[in-house]
Structure 1
Amino acid sequence: MNILSQLEEPNVSLLAGTALAVLAVGGLTMRSTKSKNAPAKPRKIHKPLTTLPILGNSLDAIRTAERFHDWLLEESLRVKHEPWSFKIIGEEETLILTSPEMIEEVTSAQFEKFIKGRYQIDLTSSFFGMGVVSADGERWYHQRKTVVRFFSAKVLDAFMRHSVNKNIHRVYSIMDDTVAKNDSIDLKRMFHDFTVETFAEMGLGVELNCLGAEKVHPFQEGLEAAGKVVSLRFRRPEWAWKLQSWLNFGEEAVLTSNMKTVRKWLHEVVAQAVQSCIDKKKSGETTSQVGKSIIELFMDHSEDDLAGLSQEDLAEFVLTLIVGARDTTADALTWFFHLLGKHPEVEKKIREEMATQLGDVVNDKDVYLTTEHTKHLVYMEAALKEAMRMYPPIPFTFREAAEDAVICGDIFIRKGQKVVIPQYTLARSPIHWGPDADQFRPERWIDPETGRVKQESAYKFFNFSAGPRMCAGMSLAYLELRLLTANLLKRYRFEMDPNNDGSYDMAVTLYMHHPLMAKPIPLQ
C-alpha cells in the first residue's frame, strides 16, 4: 500500500546523533543498582559482546533492525538463557528473561511489581488508547473484569460461530473464482481480511465487506500503517520519536493521521450502534441471541456490572479487540499455511486424520465443519500449536518494574527497569523444547500415552501470556483457527509460491514480510 511506503527505518545518523544530543543536554545519567533489597550475591547479568561504551548496543539495534527477534535468540543461546541486558543510548537498560521460572515470577508470583509502565503506555496508547492492553492498576482491573465477562458470554461464542460460518462461505466463493481464473491468491491478505471482518462484526455488529474487495477498507489500511510506526518506536530512542510526534513530522505524522481516520470511523460506528440499541429498547424490539455483538452485550448490562466503563472505553475496548484479534489470528494462520507448504508430509497427515475421524463428511463439499468435527482432529490441533510455537504472533512482551524486585532468589531488577520476555526466543530454545526446537514437528504436542494434545505450561508456551493478564480471547481465537483451517483443507490444497523465504517484518505482531501467494486446487 502506498501509505506504508512513507515509513522509514531508523538509520545510523539518527542513532549516532542521539549520543551527541544526549551529551549536549547534560550527559548520560547512570542509575545505581545498589539497593537495600538487592541480594548479597546477585546473579550476573550478561551483555552482548558487541556492547560499546556510551553507545551501548545502539549499533546492534541498527545492524539487526530487520532480524531483531533472531538477534535476541542468538544472544540468549550464547548465554545459555541466563538473564542478559542491552542498552540503547538515551534509554533505560532492558533486561531479557527467557526461562519459564523467570517468566512465572514476573507475570504471576510478583505480578503487582511488574506493570505495563509509563514507557510501554507511552509507546502504545496512541494506537490502542487506554484500553485493557495499555492500562495498569485499578483502570486495568475494572476493564479486565468487564472483558472477561464479555468473552465468557455464551451468546458471544454463538455469534462468533455464526460469523465465522458466514465468512468461510465467502472465502469459498473467492477461492472458487480464483480457481476458475487459474490464478493465485495472497493468503496473508485474505486471512487478515477474514479476521478483521469477523471481529469487527462481533465487536460492532457491522460488516466491513473486506473479503474479496479490490480496495482495502480505510479502517484496516489505517491500522496497518499505524501499527508499523508503533513497532518502530520500540527500536528508537524515546526522545527521538517523541520529538517527531511533538513536531508532527515523518513516521509520527503518519501515525497521527491514520489513527485519526481509524478513531473517527470507530467512534461514529460505536455511536450509531449504541443509538440503535437504545431505539430498539424503546420500541420493544429484541435481537436474537445468535446476533448479539459486544455493543449489544454492553448495552444489556447495568452500570454497576460495567464497573464504570464509558462509551469512550467501549470504543477503545472494541479497537483493542479488533487490532489484537485481527493481527494475531491472521498471522498465526499465515505462518501455519506457509509451514504446510514447506512440509507436505504434515498436510498429508492432517488429511488422513480428517478422513479417518470424520468419514464421508470430508468428501461432501456442502458440509461445513463445526467445532463438533474439529474437536476430533488432534493432529491438526498439534500442527496449529506447533506453528504458533515457532512463529508466535506476539514475538515479545514488555514489562516495567514498579519497585525494586528480586526474582528466582538472585536476579535483581531495579525500579523503572524494562523487562522483555521474547516469545520468539523462548519458543526456539533447545533447553526448553529439545534439540529439534528449530524444526516444525507437530508430534511433540501429542502425548504418546493418551493420544491427546499436551497442555504445556503457559510460562513455556507463552503465546497467550500468563497469569492475571492471560489473553481473555484465547478460546475464541482457537475457535477461528480450527474452523478456518479445517474447512479450507477439506476443500482445497494449495500450491505455495516457492520464492517466499519466510522472512518477517518488524511490527507489533510477527508479520510475514512477503505476500503468501498460493494457487488453490479443489479436492472435490
Structure 2
Amino acid sequence: MDINIVSAMLYSMALVLVALSIAFVLLLLKIFTGKSLRTSKYPPVHGTVFGQIIYFSRLYDYQTGVARRSPTFRLLAPDQSEIYTVDTRNVEHILKTKFEEYTKGEYNIDIAKDLFGEGIFAVDGDKWRKQRKVASFEFATRVLRDFSCCVFRKNAAKLVKVVEELSAASEIFDMQDILMRCTLDSIFKVGFGVELNCLEGSSKEGRVFMKAFDEANALIYWRYVDPSWKLKRLLNIGSEARLRNNIKLINNFVDQLIRTKRNQLPAQRERNDKEDILSRFLLESEKDPENMNDKYLRDVILNFMIAGKDTSANTLSWFLYMLCKHPLVQQKIFDEIKEVIGDQVSEANADYFVEKITDLVLDRMYYLHATLTETLRLYPAVPADGRCAEADDVLPDGFHVKKGDGVYFLAYSMGRMHNIWGEDAEDFKPERWLKDGIFQNESPFKFVAFNAGPRICLGKDFAYRQMKIVSIALLRFFRFRLADETRPVTYKVMFTLHIDNGLHLHAVPRLAA
C-alpha cells in the first residue's frame, strides 16, 4: 500500500480519536458542571445516568440496592440531575401535593415521543386533560364494563383451549407469549372494536405487530442509558435503525386500523354502537379534526396498547411464576374458586364455565385479588416512573430539587423496602392484604403499581377484571409448574416488566371436582 495512503488513513483516524476525546471531555463537563456536588442540600450522587449501562440487565435490583443505602439519590445527566426515591412522602408530593409543578418533562418526552407520540402517558396539560376526559367517561360506562367482561370471558375460554392442546401433547410452552396474544386480542376488541385472533394464531399481521411493538418498547427504554442515541437516530444506525423499522411496521398496522374504523363509523352511528374506546375518540375527533387527526388517534391507540396488553399480560405471567414457586398459594386459589362458584366448578366445558364468572364472583374472590396485588407489589407492571420539576422545590425528606430535574419513584424497589412493608417485604405473602379474609387496600403512594394522584390509572378495575377472569379460568382447569426449576427467571429492562426469554411451563389438567 502506498505510504501516502497509509499516512492519510492514520491521520484521519487520529482526527477521529481527537474529536471523540474532545466530545467525551465536553460531555463530562456538561454532566458535572453546575450540579451542586459539594452541598448536602441535594440528594447524594451515585454516578451518572450513562453508568447504568453497566448494570442494565439487572437495573431494578441495582437501584434497589442503592435505595436501601440512600432512599433518595441522584444520577447526573448532561442537562439535569435525575433524582430517584423510594420515600412515600416524596411520591405523594410529586404525584398529588404539587401535581401541577411536576410534569412529564422535555427529557422524558424527547425519549418516548417516537413511539408514544402525544398519547395520554406522554403528555401534560390540556392534551392530557382532553384524553383523560374522554377515556374516563368511557371507563365509567356500564356499556364498557359489560362489553369488556364479555370479551374477557370469551378470550379466557379460548386461552383454556389453547393450553389444553399443549397440555394434552405434554408440550412445554411460553406462557408469557400466550398471555400477550390473549391480552392483545382483548385490547383490540375492547379498545378498538377489532377481532385480531392473535391467540389462535390466525393473524400473522397481529404477531408481527406485537413483536415490533415489544422490540420498540425495549429500544426506546435503551435511550435512557445510551449517550449516542440521538447521533444514531440521525445516522439511522444500530439500535435506532432497528427502532425506526419497528415503528414503521407499527404505524402501517395502526393506520390501517384507523382507516377501517373510520369506514365502519357511519354504520356504528346508525346502530348507536359505540362499545369500543376508539369509536368514542373518532366521534370526538369530528369536533376538532385539525388537532385530533390520524396521528393523534395513532398515539391514543399505542398508549392504550401498552396499558391494556403489556401490563395485564406481564402481571399474569409473574403471577403464574409465583404460583409455581408457591404451590400452596395455587391450591388456595383453586379452593376459593370452588367455594365461590360452587358446583359449577365441576363443569368441564370452558365456554360454559367462564359464563359463571360473574361480577358477584369476581367481587368475592378476595384471596385471588390479594395474590394478584401481591404480585404487583413485587413485580409492578411499570417498575419505575416519574416526573420533572417545573420549578425549584424541596421534597418532604428535605432534599432540594432544581428546575428541570427529574424525580422518579422506583415501584419495583419500593416493594422490597423493609421500612415500607416490614421485615418480610421480599417474601411473597398474599395474606398481608387480608384482614379477617377480606381484602384491604393500602395507600396508593405506598403501593404505586397503578400510579397515584390525578394520573392514577383509569383502567385499574378494568385490569383486575381481566386478570381475575383469566386466572379463574386457567386455575380451574390446570395446575401449573415450571418446565425447569433450575432456570433463573428474571426481567427484561423496558418500560413494562417483561419476563426475559419468556415463562416456560407445563400445565397439568385438573380432574373434575
Matched with 1:428 is 416
- Partners of 2:509 and 2:42 in 1: how far apart? 57
Structure 1 residue 501 and structure 2 residue 499: aligned?
Answer: no
Tell me the CA shift for residue 460 of structure 1: 0.4
From the superposition, tell whether residues 286 and 145 of structure 1 become closer, same or farther in structure 2 (CA, over 3 Å): closer
Matched with 1:23 is 25
On the 8 A contact 1:223/1:258 being kept in 2, the answer is yes
On the 8 A contact 2:74/2:81 being kept in 1, the answer is yes
Matched with 1:380 is 368
1:325-474 equivalence runs, <5 A: 325-366=308-349, 367-368=353-354, 369-408=357-396, 410-448=398-436, 451-474=437-460
Structure 1 residue 145 and structure 2 residue 143: aligned?
Answer: no
On the 8 A contact 1:354/1:377 being kept in 2, the answer is yes
On the 8 A contact 2:112/2:220 being kept in 1, the answer is yes
Structure 1 residue 227 and structure 2 residue 217: aligned?
Answer: yes
Counterpart of 2:45 in 1: which secondary structure?
coil
Q: Structure 1, residues 227-281: CA drift from partner, whole Å, max 9, x if none?
A: 11011112222xx101111111111111111111111111121122122112454
Matched with 1:129 is 117
- Partners of 1:199 and 1:429 in 2: how far apart? 33
Tell me the CA shift for residue 318 of structure 1: 1.7
From the superposition, tell whether residues 114 and 19 of structure 1 become closer, same or farther in structure 2 (CA, over 3 Å): farther
Counterpart of 1:440 in 2: which secondary structure?
coil
Tell me the CA shift for residue 298 of structure 1: 3.4
Q: Structure 1, residues 341-377: CA drift from partner, whole Å, max 9, x if none?
A: 0001111211222222332122222322233212211
Tell me the CA shift for residue 404 of structure 1: 1.0
Matched with 1:63 is 54
On the 8 A contact 1:143/1:309 being kept in 2, the answer is no
- Partners of 1:491 and 1:19 in 2: how far apart? 62
On the 8 A contact 1:500/1:514 being kept in 2, the answer is no
- Which amino acid counterpart does residue 28 of structure 1 have in structure 2? K
Structure 1 residue 511 and structure 2 residue 509: aligned?
Answer: no
- Partners of 2:98 and 2:290 in 1: how far apart? 26
From the superposition, tell whether residues 381 and 438 of structure 1 become closer, same or farther in structure 2 (CA, over 3 Å): same
Structure 1 residue 477 and structure 2 residue 463: aligned?
Answer: yes
Number of corresponding residues: 483
- Partners of 2:410 and 2:394 in 1: how far apart? 20
- Partners of 1:397 and 1:108 in 2: how far apart? 14
On the 8 A contact 1:116/1:398 being kept in 2, the answer is yes
- Partners of 1:102 and 1:409 in 2: how far apart? 7
- Partners of 1:18 and 1:442 in 2: how far apart? 53
Matched with 2:76 is 87
From the superposition, tell whether residues 328 and 376 of structure 1 become closer, same or farther in structure 2 (CA, over 3 Å): same
Q: Which structure 1 residue ranges, 5 or more long, are not aligned?
A: 1-16, 35-40
Counterpart of 1:28 in 2: which secondary structure?
helix
From the superposition, tell whether residues 419 and 499 of structure 1 become closer, same or farther in structure 2 (CA, over 3 Å): same
Tell me the CA shift for residue 415 of structure 1: 0.4
Tell me the CA shift for residue 306 of structure 1: 10
Matched with 1:74 is 65
Counterpart of 2:150 in 1: which secondary structure?
helix
Q: Structure 1 stretch 329-338 or stretch 514-523: which is displaced more?
A: 514-523
- Partners of 1:280 and 1:470 in 2: how far apart? 31
TM norm structure 2: 0.88
On the 8 A contact 1:430/1:437 being kept in 2, the answer is yes
Indicate the structure with greater helix content: 2
Match of 1:521 among 504, 508, 512: 508
Counterpart of 1:514 in 2: which secondary structure?
coil
From the superposition, tell whether residues 114 and 280 of structure 1 become closer, same or farther in structure 2 (CA, over 3 Å): closer
- Which amino acid counterpart does residue 74 of structure 2 have in structure 1? S
Match of 2:45 among 19, 44, 47: 47
Counterpart of 1:234 in 2: which secondary structure?
coil
Q: Structure 1 stretch 293-302 or stretch 183-192: which is displaced more?
A: 293-302
From the superposition, tell whether residues 346 and 44 of structure 1 become closer, same or farther in structure 2 (CA, over 3 Å): same
- Partners of 1:424 and 1:361 in 2: how far apart? 38
Matched with 1:11 is none
- Which amino acid counterpart does residue 276 of structure 2 have in structure 1? S
Q: Structure 1, residues 99-130: CA drift from partner, whole Å, max 9, x if none?
A: 11110000110011111010111111111111
On the 8 A contact 1:120/1:398 being kept in 2, the answer is no
Matched with 1:315 is 298
Q: Structure 1, residues 188-247: CA drift from partner, whole Å, max 9, x if none?
A: 10110011110011122112221131856221121011111011112222xx10111111
Counterpart of 2:469 in 1: which secondary structure?
helix
Matched with 2:234 is 246
On the 8 A contact 1:500/1:516 being kept in 2, the answer is no
1:99-248 equivalence runs, <5 A: 99-213=87-201, 217-237=207-227, 240-248=228-236
- Partners of 2:31 and 2:62 in 1: how far apart? 27
From the superposition, tell whether residues 382 and 503 of structure 1 become closer, same or farther in structure 2 (CA, over 3 Å): same
**Among the aligned pairs, what percent are the same residue?**
27
Structure 1 residue 274 and structure 2 residue 265: aligned?
Answer: no
Tell me the CA shift for residue 308 of structure 1: 6.1
Matched with 1:492 is 478
On the 8 A contact 1:208/1:217 being kept in 2, the answer is no
- Partners of 2:486 and 2:28 in 1: how far apart? 51
- Partners of 2:307 and 2:272 in 1: how far apart? 30
From the superposition, tell whether residues 493 and 285 of structure 1 become closer, same or farther in structure 2 (CA, over 3 Å): same
Counterpart of 2:68 in 1: which secondary structure?
helix
Structure 1 residue 297 and structure 2 residue 280: aligned?
Answer: yes
Counterpart of 1:66 in 2: which secondary structure?
helix
Counterpart of 1:374 in 2: which secondary structure?
helix
Tell me the CA shift for residue 454 of structure 1: 1.2
On the 8 A contact 1:33/1:414 being kept in 2, the answer is no
Matched with 2:6 is none
- Partners of 2:61 and 2:472 in 1: how far apart? 31
Q: Which structure 2 residue ranges, 5 or more long, are not aligned?
A: 1-18
- Partners of 1:26 and 1:335 in 2: how far apart? 40
